[in-house]
Structure 1
């Protein structure tokens, strides 16, 4: 047996393939790109015996080996190329037992390619609830491959799966029986292709002919040679492909009839179908979706608030304790006013991030998110998109970078490009800290109709504003980006299921960890740089500012004097002077030089805004009271021109609207460049989003002030 065999998980979307992957690899999975392409793959180790650790690769879900999108192309690229580093020693084909007729199409194609296969018969419980019984032993005899009964959601049957995989690794065997026999009229074409390209498998030779333009492992000369073979034999790929599919389904039909017993009375509907009549209703479907969104945002504020208050107070207490116990000096100031203030400004939002991912994960696990895609397709098409664009847009609520990568499942280039360009308008989790802290400053925490919290309603309005702006931007882009490709949206709805709490917990943990780790590294670096820029100035400008304040305010109480000195020193620092330099540009939006510093620093990542404000106000405030949180400091900030609160509703809503639209994430721009292979599109993205943010924030401030 190979010391590190490769096991590929293949299957239709919603067949349970990813659930099986999670059960096999647990917390040890890792993400990366398939060799040579920027398409995500998940892989992880699986200990199949005491000496052998296999690498399990979760391939993108497909319905057949004829790809319709970039991520589907990856599967055929691997299965048709034994030289590919991810070519499997064994392919575990996961099939949905409740829909065996459709799922077996992909299995028969992979088996005909000559890949050693184990058939994992999943969702038998769902099939049983629908009145269907599947005879796995008879199915194995008819297919001439190992068939294993599993429950990927519960982890049942994994020992039998492991034994079947080990047997295939030790003594690789293929089905040996063709599920599709090419017609005699293409026999000469197959023979010539096998001879010219040194192939042993008839069906693989056919795939060379049919998919040669899409196979990345074929060079241009080989593709031209295949074109010549096609012309010589007058071969029509679409006609042959349609005939092949019909022939396979006829064969599959006889197999399904022999192994599946249907106990259902004719015409009986399942409870999932009954629910879908409501959830997919042209009126009630949208009303329920909006209600679900409202519940999510209410929960984010209501459930997370006690945890946020505890973290906020704890960070403020720790900061005060460190200032008291450590000797005064630059290092203590760096630790407390720089690093801890910046990092604390992000840690406080962990509860809200966790609840957001928890609730979204529950919707995905239950199967409801697929229904959202279907009902939203009706709206999306009017704006130049289709239902598959919903996946990236909803994923954008978490992070725009993986959301942009998720556009690979969209079939047409125009729909994919438009989705990439508008996805960053969806409010990602990095915006959530900004939203919640500013909403808490200007929106009262009171209930409406006895249940709905005004702050939760305000948060929902911001998220809906992002969605509406994404749709309007897509409509405008549709007018300029023309395409002759026809856009189709086909989706099989999974049955409703109870969430798997271990998978939900894993999703929340990975999401929060990624948020804290990615944001924490950036904030740590920026906090240190910002502290240096805010603690030092050109020449003796800061000392002169302190001397001037002492001379002009000698009669002030000691604490007020220290506050005034700290503020003037900050204003005379490098950071202060830079903030004053850009202040004329942002003054029409209601922002001062301090906010300007935070805006610039948040170009690295939006969430840095809160950490930067924490650092600035810690340095600019001479007070060292314990328990003073960033929200307290923002509430206490005064406008030097009016003497009133700095963060008025006009200013706070201007900032909120600015961050709804602003493109302030370098990682997102890099992802757009990588997916479009051009800097033209990220440049367009940056210009139109920043222009929209400035105009909208200006209008908001001028209207509300």
Structure 2
């Protein structure tokens, strides 16, 4: 019936983890790998490849978390990856073994994928997960009967409570996987001569692999055009009917699955409405559902401000003290200036936002883990469909709250190209985590830390920015819908998992990994730009600098200390304005003056096109250059004290702060996002259009806000 792989244990091997969406696959992956996870890309595509190492005795195992899929029919790019890896076309990423995760409460759907893997002839084992969910629905699985029917090792688990994880580790350690007998007689799917010919020419091991290749070769980027032409010619010269073969396969597969389930499933009528159904009546209400969602968002943003305040103050104070301490220890000179005015403020501009980034992603993980995020997708579909967005657009847009890059990549699940294009074009308008540092620092300057009843005013302002992003998405989508004028209809299919308590270990792992990514990915860019900015701000054409310094009136010899300090401050300001960065800033200042910005803010806008969060570190560096490094003011305190030299008014007043907030809400300031849009649309046309319309929208909106609040 099957061949168990046990005679010779491999010292290093790869196990592919596969399953439907929402079957607990990621939970098992997190339990097995912990913090030993990495994220890469599959060769030639932008699909994330999550993998982690497991050390079991002397063995070194690599666990690869494949994208969730319901079958190995490659209709989206995620599914293409699964098809490619399991079908053996991607030799570099081909796993030694497959661990298939099945939801015990939805066996029919899970076994469809499992039986396809069986027919591919891969050594595998099955994990029946979500035992608690099955029990709540009165479902009991006879695992021994299932083993006899399928011929592969089976483990029953409840990964949320860590039950069965040790058994999975032991199975992997013992390499207790088996090559099952084919579930279907796949010989009938292809004419015998055609199947043998394809197997020989492409180095495939069985007829089902040949069938999969001939069925979906046009979607496989690893095949060159000549190979695709050969396959196309072979199909044309045979009696093979592709659509008829897939329909027959699907019918026969479900018929076989039903027969197996009739022997292994016992279902008891629990005789009561499930808690999930009762809760959905409230949370999915056409009116109350939206109010509850807004209330949850407001609570999240209030917690982000309140809980992060103390650690942020400690971090900010630490870096201010560090600059002062280093300045006292090291001798005066270029290196000391670089460290105290460039590197330390730059690093501080990254680290200070770790508490808020961690909290935001932690709350998003909780919403996902409890099952509520699927309800949000369903709710938002009602709202977005009249504006021309595909129901499937909701998932990328929700992802865009964390980061536009995975949001744009998630549009691969949208089959209609125009629907997908609109979603790509508007996803960067969602307020991503990179905007959070900018929002936080500017809202802290413009909005008092007071309460309206039990609600913090700064939390309301932050919620308002996220709602503004949603409004911009809807209006822009509506305009694009009119311009592109497409009439195809699309539908949303979203799975509603049962409500569960969050897995706190997984939440903590998410907070850690996202914070780490922010520090090391954004941090490299921010630190590099901070050093470059310090150099450009510390040096300039000698003749221009000398003239600028000479124009500052000398104080009298017996002038008061205050006058002497004012003179030194004016000298520092003159040196900064006559530096290379000052000259660049003065050049662009006329264009941004209508928005309420001075040349220093202009420089921050330019550097932010590398990454939005660079704004804070740029401002921190520019306002540190030439300042008294022994003054232990935090970033926010420094910005709050800045005044225009001509008017004496605050630089960051309410009008300027809100103008900046709105500018950053709409502007396309992320080179990584542009690169992803380029790859997804396969050209520069749409990234350039996207940059132009978003920058124009940002400028006009910021001008309106500044004029209104002035």
Residue 22 of structure 2: which of 14, 18, 31 is its match?
Answer: 14
How many aligned residue pairs are there? 699
TM-fit CA distance, 1:387: 3.5
Partners in 2 of 1:486 and 1:187 — Cα distance?
A: 40
Partners in 2 of 1:547 and 1:215 — Cα distance?
A: 69
Change (3 A) 1:336 1:249: same
- Indicate if the aligned counterparts of 1:77 and 1:216 stay in contact, CA closer than 8 A: no
Query: Secondary structure of 2:551's partner?
Result: helix
Deviations 1:280-333 (A, max 9, x none): 222222221111111111111122112222222222222223333332332222
Change (3 A) 1:189 1:332: closer
Q: Which residue of 1 aligns with 2:563?
A: 557
Partners in 1 of 2:227 and 2:622 — Cα distance?
A: 62
- Indicate if the aligned counterparts of 1:180 and 1:247 stay in contact, CA closer than 8 A: no
TM-fit CA distance, 1:626: 3.4
Partners in 2 of 1:483 and 1:235 — Cα distance?
A: 35
Change (3 A) 1:592 1:65: same
- Say whether 1:429 aligns with 2:436: no
TM-fit CA distance, 1:465: 0.7
- Indicate if the aligned counterparts of 1:278 and 1:284 stay in contact, CA closer than 8 A: yes
TM-fit CA distance, 1:36: 3.0
TM-fit CA distance, 1:579: 0.9
TM-fit CA distance, 1:63: 0.6
Residue 174 of structure 1: which of 175, 179, 185 is its match?
Answer: 179
Q: Which residue of 2 aligns with 1:353?
A: 357
Q: Which residue of 1 aligns with 2:125?
A: 118
Q: Which residue of 2 aligns with 1:455?
A: 458
Partners in 1 of 2:30 and 2:543 — Cα distance?
A: 60
Query: Secondary structure of 1:396's partner?
Result: helix
- Say whether 1:368 aligns with 2:376: no
- Say whether 1:608 aligns with 2:614: yes
- Indicate if the aligned counterparts of 1:212 and 1:223 stay in contact, CA closer than 8 A: yes
Q: Which residue of 2 aligns with 1:100?
A: 107
Q: Which residue of 2 aligns with 1:511?
A: 514
Q: Which residue of 1 aligns with 2:6?
A: none
- Indicate if the aligned counterparts of 1:180 and 1:244 stay in contact, CA closer than 8 A: no
Change (3 A) 1:553 1:133: farther
1:72-471 aligned within 5 A: 72-81=79-88, 84-165=91-172, 173-179=178-184, 190=195, 193-194=198-199, 199-265=204-270, 268-448=272-452, 450-471=453-474
- Indicate if the aligned counterparts of 2:340 and 2:629 stay in contact, CA closer than 8 A: no
Partners in 2 of 1:184 and 1:298 — Cα distance?
A: 59
For structure 2, the 5+ residue unaligned runs are 1-8
- Indicate if the aligned counterparts of 2:16 and 2:64 stay in contact, CA closer than 8 A: yes
TM-fit CA distance, 1:489: 2.3
Residue 11 of structure 2: which of 3, 8, 22 is its match?
Answer: 3
Query: Secondary structure of 1:60's partner?
Result: coil
Q: Which residue of 2 aligns with 1:542?
A: 545
- Indicate if the aligned counterparts of 1:118 and 1:165 stay in contact, CA closer than 8 A: no
Change (3 A) 1:100 1:631: same
TM-fit CA distance, 1:54: 2.2
Query: Secondary structure of 2:368's partner?
Result: helix
- Indicate if the aligned counterparts of 2:73 and 2:83 stay in contact, CA closer than 8 A: yes
Query: Secondary structure of 2:179's partner?
Result: coil
Q: TM-score, normalised by structure 1?
A: 0.94
- Say whether 1:487 aligns with 2:490: yes
TM-fit CA distance, 1:103: 1.0
TM-fit CA distance, 1:570: 1.2
Partners in 2 of 1:660 and 1:553 — Cα distance?
A: 49
- Say whether 1:54 aligns with 2:58: no
Q: Which residue of 2 aligns with 1:650?
A: 655
Query: Secondary structure of 2:687's partner?
Result: helix
Q: TM-score, normalised by structure 2?
A: 0.93
- Indicate if the aligned counterparts of 2:362 and 2:508 stay in contact, CA closer than 8 A: yes
Partners in 2 of 1:177 and 1:436 — Cα distance?
A: 58
Deviations 1:354-404 (A, max 9, x none): 211111111111111111112212223223323432232222222222322
Partners in 1 of 2:172 and 2:520 — Cα distance?
A: 37
- Say whether 1:524 aligns with 2:527: yes
Query: Secondary structure of 2:163's partner?
Result: coil
- Indicate if the aligned counterparts of 2:323 and 2:630 stay in contact, CA closer than 8 A: no
Query: Secondary structure of 1:42's partner?
Result: strand
Partners in 2 of 1:198 and 1:521 — Cα distance?
A: 44
Partners in 2 of 1:476 and 1:334 — Cα distance?
A: 48
